């Protein structure tokens, strides 16, 4: 007795249709002034610079270079301000490590695919 059955010869297999990409016109989006900007925040006054860049549609990679005293409280204040700016722009924000922030604007969402580690108690 055979384990593999033969395909019936009565069915006709039609070839798949393919799209010729040379026939379709290439649509190029308009040139924008939006860029990926790398900035550094040292004081609370630097948040206004980040806000101006975000409202212009830029993607911001922010390094928070804060003084060591009260760094946790200052970082919490800065992140809450940047979250509200990202929400106003229609973008997203993610904190990377202890001092880096990635912020997008104009509907660009961030997919955080890195699973969070469980802390040992």
Q: Regarding beta strands 93-96 and 36-41, do their DSSP bridges make them parallel or antiparallel, or are they unpaired?
A: unpaired
- Per-residue pLDDT of 12-54, as tens digits, reads 667 777 777 777 777 766 777 778 999 999 988 899 999 999 9
- Per-residue pLDDT of 49-58, as tens digits, reads 999 999 988 9
């Amino acid at each position: 007795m055979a384990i593999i059955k033969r395909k019936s010869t009565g069915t006709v297999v039609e070839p798949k249709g393919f799209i010729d990409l040379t026939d379709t016109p290439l649509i190029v989006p308009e040139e924008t002034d939006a860029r990926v900007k790398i900035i550094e925040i040292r004081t609370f006054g630097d948040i206004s610079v980040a806000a101006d860049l975000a409202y212009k549609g830029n993607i911001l990679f922010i390094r928070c270079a804060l003084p060591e005293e009260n760094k946790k409280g200052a970082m919490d204040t800065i992140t809450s301000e940047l979250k509200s700016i990202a929400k106003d722009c229609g973008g997203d924000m993610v904190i990377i490590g202890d001092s880096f922030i990635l912020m997008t604007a104009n509907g660009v969402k961030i997919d955080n695919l890195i699973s969070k580690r469980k802390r040992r108690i």
